[in-house]
Amino acid sequence: MDFDFEFFLLAGTLISGMIWGGWLWWFRKSGEAKEPLLVEYAHSFFPILLIVLVLRSFVVEPFRIPSGSMMSTLLVGDFILVNKFVYGIRLPVIHTKVIEVSEPERGDIVVFRYPNNPSVDYIKRVIGLPGDHIAYYNKKLYVNGEPVPLKPLGTYVGVGQNQRYNGAMMYEEKLGKAQHQMLVMPGQSSVEGEYVVPQGHYFVMGDNRDNSNDSRYWGPVPEKNLVGEAFFIWMHWEPSNPGVIFDRIGTVLQ
């Protein structure tokens, strides 16, 4: 159990609901019509907290991208929405799945609790499904013995904080149904090797292949750690130049 925002949101919802519900029970017995100040606050906050809890736990949750590991698909400063029910309905805080919905597909952009520190959320792309054989050599990805198709797109040119990756080579990569852009840095070394994905786990990598802390370093993601699928950019803001990038708002992720 992680004592994070979700925990305190759940606690606040339960406490305010119990205070308000307790007073309603007392009102029916005593006939007292005026709500005490504490009950007034609970009455006001309970429905708001309940709506936020339900939406955030079971429907959609906002996240902000803090690093460049998913460039050029996601930039530092992107604000995204994550579908929380697509991989199953889970109870808040304890994260136990109670309703099966679907499983991740190769190419999905997933948010998950970092296996080495579940209090931290990571975002990467699903490369390998349970049972897949993954290989990465000379900056080329192979899935079950087949090279993943790549199409050169030229040299990356970014703005703001993303300028640090200027000079990277851009490619269009096709993983399952997803056709997306990714980066590699010429001359920069990266970890190589072969991996077999265990059952109940997923192999994930960042689209910024030479600047991503992912399954190549710490292993696959257990299914129980999945949070949801990223699907939409609703805002982009970074304090440094250029601030808001309006043409990123409304981008559907793939």
Closest CA to 81 of 59, 97, 98: 59
The domain boundary residue, chosen from 44, 59, 74:
59
- Judge whether residue 157 has pLDDT over 80: yes
User: Domains in the chain: how many in total?
Assistant: 2
Catalytic residue chosen out of the listed positions 69, 72, 212, 215 = 69
The arithmetic mean of pLDDT across residues 161-166, rounded, is 81
Band the pLDDT of 162: cuts 50, 70, 90: confident
Is pTM, for the whole model, over 0.75? yes
Is 124 an annotated catalytic residue?
Answer: yes
The domain boundary residue, chosen from 59, 89, 104:
59
- Judge whether residue 76 has pLDDT over 60: yes
Are both 109 and 146 inside the same structural domain?
yes
Containing structural domain, residue 90? 65-252
- Judge whether residue 20 has pLDDT over 90: no
Question: Which range has the worst mean pLDDT, 64-73, 109-118, 195-204, 213-222?
Answer: 64-73
Are both 151 and 134 inside the same structural domain?
yes
- Judge whether residue 1 has pLDDT over 50: no
- Judge whether residue 40 has pLDDT over 50: yes
The arithmetic mean of pLDDT across residues 91-105, rounded, is 90
Q: Could you tell me what percent of the chain has a pLDDT over 90? A: 59
The arithmetic mean of pLDDT across residues 29-53, rounded, is 83
Are both 86 and 192 inside the same structural domain?
yes
Are both 73 and 118 inside the same structural domain?
yes
Closest CA to 244 of 228, 233, 231: 233
Are both 10 and 80 inside the same structural domain?
no
Is 69 an annotated catalytic residue?
Answer: yes
User: What letter would DSSP give residue 1?
Assistant: -
Are both 136 and 226 inside the same structural domain?
yes
Are both 71 and 54 inside the same structural domain?
no
- Judge whether residue 213 has pLDDT over 90: yes
Are both 50 and 73 inside the same structural domain?
no
130 against 243, higher pLDDT: 130
Catalytic residue chosen out of the listed positions 16, 72, 124, 212 = 124
Q: State how far the Cα of 108 lies from the Cα of 105, in Å rounded to an integer.
A: 6
- Judge whether residue 243 has pLDDT over 80: no
- Contact by Cβ (8 Å): 80, 74: yes
pLDDT, one tens digit per residue, over 134-146 is 999 999 999 999 9
- Judge whether residue 183 has pLDDT over 50: yes
Q: State how far the Cα of 82 lies from the Cα of 159, in Å rounded to an integer.
A: 25
Are both 192 and 152 inside the same structural domain?
yes
Are both 82 and 207 inside the same structural domain?
yes
Q: Could you tell me what percent of the chain has a pLDDT over 70? A: 95
- Contact by Cβ (8 Å): 87, 111: no
User: What letter would DSSP give residue 55?
Assistant: I
Are both 34 and 74 inside the same structural domain?
no
The arithmetic mean of pLDDT across residues 41-47, rounded, is 88
- Judge whether residue 99 has pLDDT over 50: yes
Band the pLDDT of 32: cuts 50, 70, 90: low
